[in-house]
Structure 1
Amino acid sequence: MVGELIDRVPEQFRGVAGGVVAAAARDRRFLAVLVNGSVANGQPDEWSDLDLVIVCADSYRHETVAQAKDFAAAVGPLLVAFTGEHVGEPRLLIALYGPPVIHVDLKFIGLSDLDERVEDGLVLWQRDDSVQRRLDATQAAWPQPDAQWVEDRFWVWIHYVAAKVGRGELFEAVDGLGLIRSAALVPSIVATRTDRPAGVRRVEQLAPSLVPALARTVALPDRADCLRALRAAVELYLEVRDSGVIRRNEARKAVVAYLDGLA
């Protein structure tokens, strides 16, 4: 069974995946290796990363996280690796192997951590049936957009970015527009188009008809262009906003007037 599942890993990742399985099997602290992401859902391509979850007994959770770089170095030609605090996930080791250069995410978790997961993945290897039993007893839940959460923040974010434009902090404004796209616009766009929303990823395939409108929210670090993009963001949000939210109309009016005043 393990061999058959390893064959589902794209060829460029198979050596590292096999090395991870072999290293985990040699170490009694580890219980299983799972693969997530595009490989698990059957949609890998030449641009995919390899997402591996390495499960240990709960008592070894902190120890194995602390030794993650040593583990990674032992399974293949490691070029560089760092932990994922910047994405709020210190259990994650982000690694480049090669040549040829490949991106591999190694996430080290305890058995009980499987109770709160976003996907089931495929079990490449397991020492016994404890991991499979845990997976069968609990359910994966992919985080879903909260339309009211977006509405309660959208107008504040538009005002914040507009103020940065007014001050002349144009690169800050460009970054702020990126946040508005990833945290508000695209979640609102894809809410009814996928059960696995992931920021701006794959929006081109999920909502091709709205890509031109979304493209208009991208700005150069130029005052007039940032203000143009902010107005485009407001227009698009009003088009895709969930009809069931409590609308913050007074905030919208005030912020749009502020934006018009800057223009």
Structure 2
Amino acid sequence: MDLPSLHSRFLDEVLPRIRQDPRVTDVVLSGSIAGGQPDVYSDVDLIVVVEDAAFDAIMRERLDLIGSWTDLVVGFTGEHVGEPRLIITLVGPPLLHVDFKFVRATDFAERAEEPPLDLQWIEDRFWVWVHYGATKIGRGELFEAIGMLGFLRDAVLGPLAARRVGAPSRGTRHLENIAPEEARALRATLCGYDRADVGRALLVAVDLYRQWLGDAPVERRGEAEKLAVQYLHDVLAEAS
């Protein structure tokens, strides 16, 4: 694989050091490097597979261990992304973002395939999110409303766009490359700090959701959809 020179140097240096620890049974590359599409801006994603009996000790030592493997600038645990086994780091200089995920050998051996996108889970929540965004527009809390639009792109519209082209659902990551037509449509959900513009963008998000969900086999929450969209229109009419 043709890796950027910084990434290649890092892997050449750090992988042998990790493997020197007898408690480590394997080191696996994941992310864009494993997918064969790295560039100079890519993170390095490493899964460090640890003997079960040594896992608790390794978890206590993780930052010190990483510091012994490479020039650690800063690192922190990944609870904010729901993954406490993860250490997110900057190493260098030159700076490189590296994620170290520590897993038990048995967990790694039994890991399941990535679950499919749960369209029913989305449909059950989407209209509540639309109503929430409308309340923030009505109250003039535009930062909150703009944040909701970002959330809808990451949690709903980006995954639906990827689904349309048969790609994995990873928020809006790489969407410009894997689903360029959908990415162009998604631009209309961006907005400035203006109440009317935020409302327009939220209406576009609703239209894209309806279009991209299509005739998927989900139980549609039609009453919630009708009421939430009407509420949004009412809020925008009052604000105009």
TM superposition score normalised by structure 1: 0.83
How far apart are 1:116 and its partner, in Å? 4.8
Amino acid at match of 1:75: W
Alignment of 1:138-177 (within 5 A): 140-177=112-149
2:192 corresponds to which of 177, 200, 220: 220
In the alignment, is the contact (CA less than 8 A) between 2:71 and 2:91 conserved in 1? Answer: yes
Q: For structure 1, which runs of at least 5 residues remain unmatched after alignment?
A: 1-6, 118-139
Corresponding residue number in structure 1 for 2:225: 252
Distance 1:86 1:146 in 2: 21
In the alignment, is the contact (CA less than 8 A) between 1:219 and 1:229 conserved in 2? Answer: yes
Per-residue CA deviations over 1:167-206 (Å, capped at 9, x if unaligned) read: 1211111111111111111212211323422111111122
Is 1:201 aligned to 2:173, yes or no?
yes
Corresponding residue number in structure 1 for 2:63: 69
Distance 1:8 1:30 in 2: 27
Amino acid at match of 1:59: A
Is 1:186 aligned to 2:186, yes or no?
no
How far apart are 1:8 and its partner, in Å? 6.4
TM superposition score normalised by structure 2: 0.91
How far apart are 1:10 and its partner, in Å? 4.1
Alignment of 1:13-28 (within 5 A): 13-28=7-22
Q: Could you say what secondary structure the match of 2:189 adopts?
A: coil
Shift in alpha-carbon separation, 1:189–1:116, aligned structure 2, 3 A: farther
Q: For structure 2, which runs of at least 5 residues remain unmatched after alignment?
A: none
Structure with higher helix content? 2
Amino acid at match of 2:171: G
In the alignment, is the contact (CA less than 8 A) between 1:194 and 1:206 conserved in 2? Answer: no
In the alignment, is the contact (CA less than 8 A) between 1:10 and 1:39 conserved in 2? Answer: no
C-alpha RMSD of the superposition? 1.7
In the alignment, is the contact (CA less than 8 A) between 2:90 and 2:98 conserved in 1? Answer: yes
Is 1:11 aligned to 2:23, yes or no?
no
Q: Could you say what secondary structure the match of 2:173 adopts?
A: coil
Is 1:232 aligned to 2:226, yes or no?
no
